Amino acid sequence: MSLWEKLADVTFQEHPIRRYREVKDRIAHDLVTYADAIILDEDAPAVPAMRYASQRANRGRAAELEVAAKNLPAWYRKWLHRCGEEPFKAAKNLRALADATWREGADTHVANIKRWLRL
């Protein structure tokens, strides 16, 4: 977290900003879980269940991210844009990740999500 983010958080104590950061942290955690699910043996019986759970989580997180981003103050959205963070593009890639059918495409979406959320 940069100094500006810490100052903004302490100074304004904006609930929407805190909510956005919480969603962003959950997405980062989900991406790690997703990577673990991909690395597992494809023939293992738990893999389809884990993949299905990851798909549902990605769709849910995409919706959460969009709502959190819409509730952000305008000045904070502009600041995010200036820093290269695009939550709506990340949400679009989260949905695409949930629908990805091949690993290379999924890896591309993960890379885009990390780029758009600056993870």
Domain boundaries, the chain: 14-117
User: What's the predicted TM-score (pTM) here?
Assistant: 0.76
End-to-end CA distance of the chain: 11
Interval 58-98: pLDDT, tens: 889 999 999 999 999 999 999 999 999 999 999 999 999 88
Q: For the chain, where are the alpha helices, taking DSSP H only? A: 3-12, 15-39, 46-70, 74-83, 87-99, 103-117
Contacts of 83 (CB under 8 A, 6+ apart): 118
Residue 110 tokens read as: 């993960």
Cα 13–Cα 14–Cα 17 angle in degrees, nearest 5 = 120
Q: Is the pLDDT of residue 21 over 90?
A: yes
Q: Residue 47's pLDDT is what?
A: 61
